A and B are shown apart, each in its own frame.
Chain A
Amino acid sequence: MANTIHVDIVSAEGEIHSGSAEMVFVPASMGEIGIAPRHAPLLTTLKAGEVRVKPAGGGEELWFWIGGGALEIQPHLVTVLADTAARAKDLDEAAALAAKQRAEEALKDRTGAIEVAEAQAELARAAAQLKAIEKLRKLKRG
């Protein structure tokens, strides 16, 4: 147990790898780092590249490609949080603006065409239902 370290590689849309390893190599933003068991606690970000895991008890080295992400190291645990979305500061800001705009448009556009069509369809459905119920009543009485 002393000379292995637990590795979890997860992305938001699924778990990628989990298991113990003798050594892990990750592409940190400041250069590749190798992590041996009992590494000091460390937080860093990752850039796009491959994560290499030397599994415990020998065996072939495992390779995982990630498109960036974040990394946490505890003496007994390595957690790689892989990003699923390509991201950059500008891109994120643009997306934030778009979300705000959508909200504003939704507020302004009170009688949007879609809503009118939806309401009409609903009205038609309700009217048809009422007719059906009325007919049923008449038939039951008669």
Chain B
Amino acid sequence: MAGAKEIRTKIASIKSTQKITKAMEMVAASKMRRAQERMRAARPYAEKIRTVIGHIRLANPDYRHAFLVEREVKSVGIIVVSSDRGLCGSLNVNVFKQTLAAVREWQQKGCEVHLCLIGSKSMQFFRRLKLPIAASVAQLGDKPHVADLIGAVQAMLAMYREGKVDRLSLVSSNFVNTMTQKPEERMLLPAETVDASELQARWDYIYEPSAAELLDGYMMRYVESQVYQAVVENLACEMAARMVAMKSATDNAGSLIEELQLIYNKARQAAITKEISEIVGGAAAV
């Protein structure tokens, strides 16, 4: 009987695949917990600096920083945050879809679009489209640091300062819960105001040293922290998505094995029946 051995090999190979997907699921689960903690740890800074920027917008300085002033939009910059590795379901594809929708919308308005790509998956995807890529950074690992992102962010800020980009936004996955990750576009520059009604109407800061220098530093830190927050959140999303994807892969492998086992049993039964009937036939002939 030729089929039985083949089926047995097949079952063994699916079983080993199942072991791998099971292991990946568990690794992703434990990494997700750590990534979520990191996401939580990064939140206070991002919130604080957003409040500070909101205060700065409400102040009445003589000096108006370029990052706070709205200009006519002729070209836009989009920072895309994706994962470095695949096998995480539709996470990256959803982000790319959202990005493409935004790109198309701006192009219809006759705007140029410059991209800043974070994560190797976005690089692989957007390289094929003929869009100008201003900066990119990849291979951030499981513990991304702000220092790794400074370069890419600086490149985009320089473009904004030089007037090559009039609006800067960020597309990344939003961690809703383990099962759901939603792609989201957020505007970074010009900075939005936050509500801070407890402050008096007319006042200004004491600046030490000069307002220009200070605000530059603040805006830089603001954008960096927002991007960092997005990267950390994306990591948590990636792990959650991978966990779910690997779980369903493990389940699928399980049902495939069951099916194959049934086929194998039937084939074995048929072979035995055949053999018996041959023996019986042979005995009757004697």
Contact = CB atoms under 8 A, between A and B. Distances in A.
Q: Do A and B belong to a common assembly?
A: yes
Contacts, number: 147
B48 A96 contact: no
B72 interface: no
Interface in B52-102: 52, 55-56, 59
A96 B158 contact: yes
B44 A8 contact: yes
B154 A93 contact: yes
Interface of A, secondary structure class, is mixed
Chain B interface size, as a band, is 35 or more
Contacts of A104: 133
Interface of B, secondary structure class, is helix
B117 interface: yes
Contact of B55 (A30, A72, A103): A72
B127 A107 contact: yes
Given A8-B48, A81-B49, A84-B147, A41 B59 contact: yes
Interface string A73-116: 01000010101111100001111111110111011001000010
10 contacts: A70-B217, A74-B55, A74-B199, A79-B48, A85-B146, A96-B152, A96-B154, A99-B116, A99-B137, A142-B3
Given A43-B56, A74-B55, 13 more contacts: A12-B224, A13-B41, A13-B45, A13-B146, A43-B218, A44-B208, A70-B52, A94-B151, A95-B151, A96-B151, A102-B136, A102-B138, A140-B263
Interface of B: 3, 6-7, 10, 38, 41-42, 44-46, 48-49, 51-52, 55-56, 59, 116-117, 123-124, 127, 133-138, 145-147, 150-152, 154-155, 158, 199, 203-209, 211, 213-215, 217-218, 221, 224-225, 228, 259-260, 263, 267
